[in-house]
Amino acid sequence: MHKKLAKDGLVILAVNTDDPKDKKTRDNVIGVLQKTMHEKLAKDDPPPFPTANLNIEAEEYQKRFKVAGWPCVYVFNRDNLYVKKLPLWKGDDLIEDVDYDVIDKVVEEQLKKK
């Protein structure tokens, strides 16, 4: 997605909450990024977009960001207004899970708006 749409204004920021010094965790994060990006990264190559590592306990980020866990995806428009968040929960019920085809469609619709 990044390769395809960065030229149109797409900005991606990956956020990880795991210990960046843990090799097993890093390999898992790279796997998630590969799935998200629909492309292969070498294990030692950084993603082609900013990646932040939060130093925060799971309970705290779940409370602050209103998520049950990762991965989750937020899409903002060109005016920095939130337009989509996945997964979508209502109480303890999962309404809509992370679906990268849905995210692709929402992002492409937002990029068409100038």
Per-residue pLDDT, 7: 84
Per-residue pLDDT, 40: 57
DSSP of the chain: -HHHHGGGT----EEE-S-TT-HHHHHHHHHHHHHHHTS---TTSPPSS-EEE----HHHHHHHHT-SSS--EEEE-TTS-EEEEESEEETTEEEE---HHHHHHHHHHHHH--
Which range of residues forms the domain containing residue 36? 2-112
In this predicted model, what pLDDT tens digit does every residue of 17-54 receive, in sequence order?
Answer: 776 677 787 677 667 666 665 555 555 566 667 777 77
In this predicted model, what pLDDT tens digit does every residue of 45-104 receive, in sequence order?
Answer: 666 677 777 777 777 877 777 776 667 788 888 888 888 888 888 877 888 888 888 888
CATH number at residue 59: 3.40.30
Question: What is the number of domains present in the chain?
Answer: 1
